[in-house]
C-alpha cells in the first residue's frame, strides 16, 4: 500500500473498476480452455496465456502485477511462489483437484482459490454407463475377436442392463446422477453412502455395504478420496459380491486392492470389470502403464479419462472463469475452496468494501464503528466466517472520506481490503 517500506503500491490499493490504475491482469497457464479467456476479457481483464506449466521460480517471477492466476493440475502454487505474488487476488484451478495449491499459504495471504467440482460429473456418468453396457454385452471381447478375424455371433454371456441391479457406493454428485440416468435405462438402483443422502427416483438406500454387495449385479465405486477410503475394496468385499457380478471403479485408484480384484476375475467369480483409476498412474504419455489387471478377459482399462471430454473442459473454463470474474468485480467468494463464502447481489450507486480478516470477536462491530464515526451509511452487509478467516462485504454510498479506507486497512484483524465500485 502507499507508503509501504519498499515503496511498492499493491494493485488492490485503489478503487476497483473506478480509479484502478490500468487493466487488471490475468495469467493463464497450461492451455486453459478459450471459454475462460473469452469470459475474463469480456469482464475487462488483460489476459496473458502460456501453453505449459511454470516452475516455482518462473511462476514467482511472473506473478508480480498479476491479479488472477489460472492453472490446471501441473503448476505447483507453493508458499514461496505465493510469497512473491503481492498483487495476487485469486487462483483459479481449472480442474477438480486443488492439491497442487498451498491452500494454507493462499488463505494466509488473502488469496481466494476456486475450482470446478461439478463440471465433469456428467462425463464420468456417461463413461460409467457406457462401460456397464459394454461389460454386460461383453462388447470389448467381441470387438477384439472381430479385429483378429473371428466371427462369433453367440449370445452366450451377453445380457441387457434392463432389470439388473446397480449398486452405487458413494451417492455424491456422480453417484446420484448415475442413479437417475441408470433408472431411465430400466435398471434397479441400490446405493450405500456413509453420509445422509437424499434418495432420488426409486433408488433404495442400503444400510450397510454388505447389503449392497449381496444385492447388486453391478457394483460401481464413486466415493471421494479421503484417506480412510484407502483399500476400501479388497478380498472381503469382492468375496461378498454376487457370483457373475461386474465391478467398476472410476473414482480413486487407491480405493481398490487390484491383486484381490485380479484373483476374483481369474477365478470367474466376477464376470468383468472396468477400471479408470490406478494406484500408480504414468506421469506422461511415453511412460509404460503397468497393472496386474492387464490382459484379463472382459476387463476394460482406461487412462483416467472419466472426466476428460471437450464438454467438461469447456464447462470448467466457463465455471472457473466466471468465479474469477465475479470475485474481481463483486467480491463474491461463493464456492471458494478456501475463503468464507459470501455473495451480495451487484448494486449501483454504492462502493463495496470487501474486507477479509482474522476471525476474532468484534470485527464487524469495529468495521461499523469506523463507518459510523465517519457518518457513512451501510446500504447492505454480509459476513461469513470459515476457520481462521472472516469475510465481510459492505455496500456504502460513494461519498465517504478517504480516511475510512485507511482506518479499515489499519485494523489489526485486517488481512486484505478491496474497494469495489
Ligand X SMILES: NC(=O)c1ccc[n+]([C@@H]2O[C@H](COP(=O)([O-])OP(=O)(O)OC[C@H]3O[C@@H](n4cnc5c(N)ncnc54)[C@H](O)[C@@H]3O)[C@@H](O)[C@H]2O)c1
Query: Closest Cα partner for 288 from 278, 300, 298?
Result: 278
Q: How many residues bind ligand X (CB under 6 A)?
A: 29
166 DSSP 8-state letter: E
State yes or no: residue 250 binds ligand X (CB under 6 A). yes
Give the one residue of 224, 281, 388, 403 binding ligand X; rule: CB under 6 A. 224
Give the one residue of 225, 253, 279, 413 binding ligand X; rule: CB under 6 A. 225
Instruction: Give the separation between CA 15 and CA 11, rounded to whole angstroms.
Output: 10
Give the one residue of 217, 257, 276, 395 binding ligand X; rule: CB under 6 A. 276
State yes or no: residue 167 binds ligand X (CB under 6 A). no
Give the one residue of 307, 317, 321, 340 binding ligand X; rule: CB under 6 A. 307
SS3 (DSSP) at 138: coil
Residue 196 CB, nearest approach to ligand X (Å):
9
State yes or no: residue 200 binds ligand X (CB under 6 A). no
Per-residue binding letters, 60-99, with ligand X (x by CB under 6 A): ------------------------------------x---
Q: What is the dihedral of CA 145, 147, 150, 153, to 10 degrees?
A: 70
Whether 304 is a known active-site residue: answer: yes
Whether 281 is a known active-site residue: answer: yes
Question: Count of alpha carbons within 13 Å of 267, Cβ hemisphere only?
Answer: 13
* DSSP line for 59-79: HHHH-TT-SEEEE-SS--B-H
Cβ proximity to ligand X: between 154 and 208 the closer is: 208
Give the one residue of 171, 238, 327, 391 binding ligand X; rule: CB under 6 A. 171
Instruction: Give the separation between CA 265 and CA 111, rounded to whole angstroms.
Output: 48
The length of the chain, given as a count of residues: 421
The single residue of 281, 311, 388, 410 carrying the catalytic annotation is 281
Stretch in the footprint of ligand X (CB under 6 A) among 216-224, 284-292, 331-339, 405-413 = 216-224
CA distances from 10 to 15, 127, 257, 281, 416 (A): 12, 47, 51, 42, 11
Residue 275 CB, nearest approach to ligand X (Å):
10
C-alpha cell at 304: 483416467
The single residue of 122, 252, 264, 351 carrying the catalytic annotation is 252
C-alpha cell at 412: 489489526
Cβ proximity to ligand X: between 9 and 173 the closer is: 173
State yes or no: residue 394 binds ligand X (CB under 6 A). no
State yes or no: residue 279 binds ligand X (CB under 6 A). no
Cβ(338)–Cβ(391) below 8 Å = no
Residue 233 CB, nearest approach to ligand X (Å):
10
SS3 (DSSP) at 333: coil
Closest residue by beta carbon to ligand X: 172
Cβ proximity to ligand X: between 312 and 363 the closer is: 312
Which residues in 363-382 contact ligand X (CB under 6 A)? none
Query: Closest Cα partner for 317 from 133, 57, 47?
Result: 47
Whether 51 is a known active-site residue: answer: no
CB atoms < 10 A from the CB of 365, how many?
9
CB atoms < 10 A from the CB of 377, how many?
12
Residue 177 CB, nearest approach to ligand X (Å):
8
Query: Closest Cα partner for 78 from 63, 60, 65, 62?
Result: 60
Binding residues vs ligand X (CB under 6 A): 96, 120, 124, 169-175, 192-195, 222-226, 229, 232, 250-252, 276-277, 304, 306-307
Catalytic residues: 252, 281, 304
Amino acid at each position: 500500500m502507499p507508503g509501504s517500506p519498499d515503496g511498492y503500491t499493491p494493485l488492490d490499493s485503489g478503487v476497483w473498476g473506478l480509479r484502478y490504475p490500468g487493466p487488471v491482469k490475468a495469467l493463464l497457464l497450461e492451455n486453459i480452455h478459450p471459454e475462460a479467456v473469452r469470459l475474463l476479457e469480456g469482464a475487462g481483464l488483460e489476459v496473458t496465456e502460456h501453453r505449459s506449466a511454470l516452475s516455482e521460480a518462473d511462476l514467482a517471477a511472473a506473478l508480480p502485477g498479476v491479479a488472477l492466476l489460472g492453472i490446471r493440475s501441473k503448476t505447483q502454487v507453493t508458499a514461496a511462489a505465493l510469497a512473491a505474488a503481492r498483487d495476487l487476488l485469486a487462483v483459479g484451478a481449472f480442474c477438480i483437484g486443488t492439491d497442487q495449491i498451498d491452500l494454507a499459504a493462499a488463505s494466509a495471504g488473502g488469496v481466494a482459490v476456486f475450482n470446478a467440482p461439478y463440471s465433469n460429473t456428467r462425463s464420468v456418468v456417461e463413461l460409467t454407463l457406457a462401460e456397464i453396457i459394454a461389460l454386460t454385452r461383453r462388447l470389448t471381447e467381441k470387438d477384439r475377436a472381430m479385429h483378429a478375424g473371428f466371427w462369433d455371433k453367440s449370445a452366450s454371456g451377453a445380457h441387457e442392463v434392463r432389470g439388473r441391479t446397480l449398486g452405487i457406493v458413494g451417492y455424491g454428485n456422480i453417484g446420484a446422477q448415475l442413479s437417475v440416468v441408470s433408472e431411465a435405462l430400466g435398471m434397479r438402483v441400490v446405493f450405500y453412502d456413509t453420509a445422509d443422502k437424499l434418495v432420488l427416483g426409486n433408488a433404495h438406500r442400503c444400510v450397510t455395504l454388505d447389503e449392497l454387495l449381496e444385492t447388486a449385479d453391478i457394483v460401481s465405486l464413486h466415493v471421494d478420496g479421503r484417506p480412510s477410503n484407502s483399500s476400501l475394496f479388497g478380498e472381503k468385499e469382492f468375496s461378498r459380491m454376487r457370483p457373475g457380478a461386474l465391478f467398476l471403479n472410476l473414482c480413486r485408484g487407491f480405493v481398490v486392492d487390484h491383486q484381490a480384484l485380479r484373483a476374483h476375475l481369474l477365478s470367474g467369480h466376477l464376470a468383468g470389470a472396468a477400471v479408470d483409476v490406478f494406484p500408480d498412474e504414468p506421469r506422461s504419455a511415453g511412460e509404460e502403464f503397468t497393472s496386474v489387471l492387464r490382459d484379463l478377459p472382459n476387463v476394460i482399462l482406461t487412462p483416467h479419462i472419466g472426466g476428460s471430454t471437450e464438454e467438461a473442459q469447456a464447462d470448467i473454463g466457463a465455471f472457473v472463469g466466471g468465479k474469477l470474474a465475479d470475485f474481481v468485480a463483486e467480491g463474491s467468494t461463493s464456492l471458494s475452496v478456501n475463503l468464507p463464502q459470501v455473495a451480495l447481489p451487484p448494486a449501483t450507486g454504492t462502493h463495496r468494501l470487501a474486507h477479509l480478516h482474522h476471525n476474532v470477536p468484534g470485527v464487524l462491530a469495529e468495521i461499523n464503528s469506523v463507518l459510523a464515526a465517519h457518518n457513512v451509511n451501510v446500504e447492505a452487509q454480509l459476513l461469513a466466517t470459515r476457520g481462521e478467516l472472516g469475510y465481510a462485504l459492505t455496500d456504502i454510498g460513494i461519498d465517504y472520506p478517504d480516511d475510512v479506507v485507511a482506518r479499515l486497512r489499519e485494523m489489526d484483524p485486517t488481512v486484505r481490503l478491496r474497494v469495489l465500485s
